[in-house]
Each structure stands twice: as structure tokens, then as C-alpha cells.
Structure 1
Amino acid sequence: MKGRNKNLIEERDQKLYERFYCLVEVNRMRFDDAVKYLAEKEFFLSEARVIQLLRKKIQEGATVNGERFKFPLFMGFRDMKRTRIHNNKN
């Protein structure tokens, strides 16, 4: 098998999303502090990549124990499913 394992990448992305959810929603850490912490201390990715992965997971409708972010728009993220449904109603 050549290249990167897609299953492992997806697992990493889900764990990143879960840790971000925990830091922001449970521990009440600020968005930018949570991104920086995850980028530098836990996942060793750039802050831009962390934000990109979080945005992707939110757009996919990812949950943590059935819970979603209460205010994804406040953090600059859009739920594309909701946006498409809203646009189709008009």
C-alpha cells in the first residue's frame, strides 16, 4: 500500500474535531487558543490546517456523542447542509 492511509487520516480528523469540541464547548477555551493548542501541542499541524480540517468536519455534519457545536457561525464555520437547505427554500 502506497501513500497515506485514508482510514488513519479520517480517524485523526475525527479525534481533532472531538478534542476541539471538548476544549471549546466543555472547557470554554477561546477558539483561537484551542486551535493554537491543538496545532502545537497535540496534533503538530499548522493552525491553518487545523482550521481547514475542523471546517470540513463541521460541513460534513460531524458530531461528538450526538452533539454539534451550538454556534458554528460564531466561530466562522458554516454548516453547508443547512446553507444548501436554506438556499433551496428561496
Structure 2
Amino acid sequence: MKTEGLKLEGLETEGLKTDAVPQGRPTEESETGHFRFDNAEVRRRDRLLLEKYASGECETGLHYAERSFARTEILRLEILAVSAKGKRVK
């Protein structure tokens, strides 16, 4: 995993909005995204998974999930925009 670079430095100093000018490219490109933490959504997801795959043990599963909730970190990354470039080969 790369531990240095313009984009990573931008994340540390500017947050999740970074602007980078790729080497050899005259245009500036912008990347935007954000993380969202929603405990209610995580609990709802847990309930739905337990109801689907372990319906007879749903309450027990929710009990264990609740106990481990403080030790678990769930992130939801919402990608706001994606751009790409391609080259057509004949």
C-alpha cells in the first residue's frame, strides 16, 4: 500500500475533496466522496441478514451483534462521481 503522494497528502490536509494535476496533463481533475456512519442503518442491515439466513435465531443473533457493536466499525462509502478515460485500439 502506498503511504505517500499528492492525493494522500490532500486527504490529510483538505479532507476528502482533493484536486490533482496528473503528470503530463494540462487539466486539473477533482475527486469527491464522503464517508457516512449510520448506526441505525447498520442495525437494520444486521436484522435483515439474520431474518434471511438465521430466522430461528434472529433474537440471539441480534443480542450478539449488539454486544460486539462497540468493537465493530462499519463504513459506507458513497461515490459521488466517477470518471475514466480510455483509448480505442484499432
More helix per residue: 1
Structure number with bigger Rg: 2
User: TM-score, normalising length from structure 1?
Assistant: 0.31
User: TM-score, normalising length from structure 2?
Assistant: 0.31
More strand per residue: 2
